[in-house]
């Protein structure tokens, strides 16, 4: 068994080793290329304060760039007996460069190393989710405009209530995603601060230039107080998980609507046959499994903030191994939500709507409010108009006028699609992804 970075002369018990490492090696594969990026920035700073020579820096950067390429291709492996991604990267360097590879750890701890890895990983994943969410947003807006004149029942208490439209239905979920990305932007701002240089949580006697690593990695700022930088472990993940849960909540509600509206009892929408599954015993079945699984997966993601809170909410300041477990629930959540976003986008693009729902007389009463409002516009006091229409309904004499004229902002006749799109665009621009992307690309190119 390979020796750990922290071992001296006593080798740890095997069962203790297995228990404490847990799934860390598996989870650290998510972080591999970000660990390399953090090391590239760190050693560039070390050279600037005289802890590495210019030639050593050039050699180390070139080899780290090779390791980054391996990780970027998905070929990075943490070998048996190697504890984590940090140890593996350092091992690969020392195999190739000898003692020079051992110099990269000066002025840092695995504590701030994993912190910066997590932040670099998370901000990249946020950018991916923002792109996927935006794709879904545009599809929902397109469907909203396509079907904006098609009426459908609106419900309260799952009782037919007032006329709605497919323009409103699709558009509502589009606008929901706008608010979800507003929350995500706030989470991104919390994430995009540099913890590197906080070491084990109490700084370093080396004259580290933390502003330099902040700029090299494209962070908006640093986590200034070194104790707070370590306190951010768990807090950042919890904050981001709330943003993930917001998007998941929107998808889950949309999925439930789609399952309900696709059922024969409603018949409001039709899903593409290729996006449904069958039954082993009932030949007529076309099940909305994609939406059902989306609902379950997204409901699970909505539990993520609580899981992270329960892991870290009773810990005092400083580092504790408890925090390792957060990676197991946090890191895979991005792929799961990304899969849901992609599938819902495919489904939403192909949904066909029933254009004659309200021809059925069972929906006649949803036009009662329209009749009350028509009488009010003719000068009848609202309470009197309400009573007149109510008495007609009770006597079975209500005859609906199935025309709707809504003109105010956000109503059936005025969806405000363009305004919502502009709001979304402003939020996306507010993330400022360009700074991080340009910094990372510059860092990688510098190593050439």
The predicted-structure confidence for 113-157, as pLDDT tens digits, reads as follows 999 999 999 999 999 999 999 999 999 999 999 999 999 999 999
Q: Is the pLDDT of residue 15 over 80?
A: no
Question: What's the rounded Cα separation, in Å, for the pair 437 and 433?
Answer: 6
Query: Is residue 284's pLDDT more than 70?
Result: no
Read off the pLDDT of each residue in 9-38 and give the average, rounded to a whole number.
Answer: 77
Average pLDDT over residues 233-246: 97
Distance CA 154, CA 169 (A): 9
Q: Which residues of the chain form CATH 1.10.275.10?
A: 14-106
**Residue 178, phi then psi, degrees to nearest 5:** -60, -50
Which residue(s) pair with 194 in the sheet?
222
Q: Which of 14-18, 168-172, 397-401 has the lowest mean pLDDT?
A: 14-18
Which tokens is 435 given?
């700074």
Does the domain spanning 14-106 belong to CATH 1.20.210.10?
Answer: no
The rounded distance, in Å, linking the Cα atoms of 179 and 356 is: 32
**Portion of the chain with pLDDT greater than 70, in percent:** 92
Lowest-confidence pick of 64-73, 337-346, 402-411: 402-411
Q: Strand 352-353 relative to strand 269-270: parallel, antiparallel, unpaired?
A: antiparallel
Q: Give the mean model confidence (pLDDT) for residues 231-260.
A: 96
Question: Are the CB atoms for 62 and 447 separated by under 8 Å?
Answer: yes
Q: Domain 111-359+416-446 class?
A: mainly alpha
Residue 285 has pLDDT above 80, yes or no: no
Predicted pLDDT of residue 401 = 87
Our CA dihedral for 430, 433, 434, 437, rounded to 10 degrees, sits at 170
Q: Return residue ranges of the chain for CATH 1.20.200.10.
A: 111-359+416-446
pLDDT at 446: 72
Q: What is the mean pLDDT of residues 353-363?
A: 93
Per-residue HEC secondary structure of 115-142 comes to HHHHHHHHHHHHHHHHHHHHHHHHHHHH
Q: How does pLDDT run across 46-101, given as a tens digit for each residue? A: 999 999 999 999 999 999 999 999 999 999 999 988 888 999 999 999 999 999 99
pTM here? 0.91
The answer to whether residues 304 and 330 touch, using CB atoms and an 8 Å cutoff, is yes
3-state secondary structure of 416: coil
Confidence band (pLDDT; 50, 70, 90) for 17?
A: low
Q: Token pair of 190, please?
A: 């919390």
pLDDT value for 1: 40
Q: Is the pLDDT of residue 201 over 70?
A: yes
């Amino acid at each position: 068994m390979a020796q750990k970075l922290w071992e001296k002369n006593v080798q740890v018990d095997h069962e203790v080793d297995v228990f404490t490492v847990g799934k860390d090696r598996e989870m650290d594969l998510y972080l591999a290329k970000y660990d390399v990026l953090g090391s590239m920035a760190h050693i560039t700073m070390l050279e600037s304060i005289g802890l590495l020579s210019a030639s050593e820096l050039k050699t180390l950067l070139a080899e780290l760039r090779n390791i980054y390429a391996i990780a970027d291709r998905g070929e990075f492996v943490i070998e048996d007996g190697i504890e984590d991604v940090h140890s593996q990267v350092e091992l690969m360097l020392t195999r190739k460069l000898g003692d020079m590879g051992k110099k990269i750890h000066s002025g840092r701890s695995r504590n701030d190393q994993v912190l910066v890895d997590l932040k670099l990983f998370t901000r990249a994943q946020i950018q991916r989710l923002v792109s996927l969410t935006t794709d879904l947003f545009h599809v929902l807006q397109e469907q909203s405009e396509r079907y904006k004149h098609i009426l459908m029942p609106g419900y309260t208490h799952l009782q037919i209530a007032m006329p709605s439209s497919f323009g409103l239905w699709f558009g509502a979920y589009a606008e929901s995603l706008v608010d979800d990305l507003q929350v995500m932007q706030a989470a991104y701002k919390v994430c995009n601060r540099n913890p590197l240089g906080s070491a084990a949580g109490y700084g370093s006697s080396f004259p580290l230039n933390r502003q330099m690593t902040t700029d090299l990695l494209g962070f908006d700022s640093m986590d200034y107080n070194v104790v707070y930088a370590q306190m951010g472990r768990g807090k950042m993940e919890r904050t981001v998980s709330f943003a993930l849960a917001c998007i998941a909540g929107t998808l889950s509600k949309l999925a439930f609507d789609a399952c309900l509206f696709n059922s024969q009892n409603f018949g409001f929408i039709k899903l593409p046959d290729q996006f449904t599954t069958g039954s082993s015993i009932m030949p007529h079945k076309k099940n909305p499994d994609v939406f059902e699984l989306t609902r379950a997966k997204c409901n699970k993601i909505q539990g993520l903030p609580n899981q992270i809170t329960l892991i870290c909410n009773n810990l005092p300041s400083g580092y504790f191994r408890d925090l390792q477990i957060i990676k197991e629930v946090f890191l895979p959540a991005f792929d799961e939500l990304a899969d849901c976003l992609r599938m819902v986008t495919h489904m939403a693009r192909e949904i066909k709507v029933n254009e004659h729902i309200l021809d059925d007389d069972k929906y006649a009463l949803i036009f009662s409010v329209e009749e009350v409002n028509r009488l009010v516009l003719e000068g009848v006091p609202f309470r009197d108009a309400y009573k007149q229409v109510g008495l007609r309904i009770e006597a079975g004499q209500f005859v609906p006028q199935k025309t709707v004229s809504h003109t105010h902002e956000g109503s059936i006749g005025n969806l405000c699609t363009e305004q919502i799109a502009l709001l979304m665009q402003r939020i996306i621009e507010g993330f400022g992804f360009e700074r991080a992307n340009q910094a990372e690309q510059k860092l990688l190119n510098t190593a050439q």
